[in-house]
Structures are given as structure tokens and as C-alpha cells.
Amino acid sequence: MTDLGSAVTERVPLNCIQNWRYSLSPFMLGLTVNFAFFTHISLAYDLFRLISPLYLLFLFCSYEQNIEL
């Protein structure tokens, strides 16, 4: 739960989160589910951005080797 909170505070100002806690306390469970959903999407996107250049480099290197053969 603390990881989710730190991931959210990186993107949303702290006073905004505190205002939400006081005004939307009955809906905190729904907000937490939404934040977890979007955080997982952004983590998957970061992982994709990290892996895709390596994959393209691998494809390029294998393509170069096929040309030499």
C-alpha cells in the first residue's frame, strides 16, 4: 500500500491528495482501485519503453548477421 501511495504522490501534489482524503473518504477504496489500475498500466508502459529499444537492437544485429551470411 505504501508503494501505491508513493507512486501516486510522485504525480499528484500532496495537498490535492489530502483534500481528497477529507472530502472523498467513503470513496477511498474506489480511488485506490483506480490508482492501482493506472499505476500498473504506467509501469507496464515504462517496461515496454525500456525493452523495445533493446529488442529493436537485437533485431537489427541479427539482420546484419544475416546479410553477412
What is the chain's pLDDT, residue by residue, as a tens digit (69 residues)? 445 555 554 555 555 555 545 555 555 555 555 666 666 667 777 777 777 777 777 877 776 666 655
How many domains is the chain partitioned into structurally? 1
Per-residue model confidence (pLDDT) at position 1: 46
Cβ pair 17, 8 in contact under 8 A: yes
Measured CA to CA, the distance from residue 11 to residue 9 in angstroms comes to 5
Cβ pair 62, 35 in contact under 8 A: no
* Beta-carbon-side half-sphere exposure of residue 36 (alpha carbons within 13 Å): 9
pTM: 0.29
* Best CA proximity match to 28, nearest among 43, 45, 8, 42: 8
Measured CA to CA, the distance from residue 68 to residue 27 in angstroms comes to 62
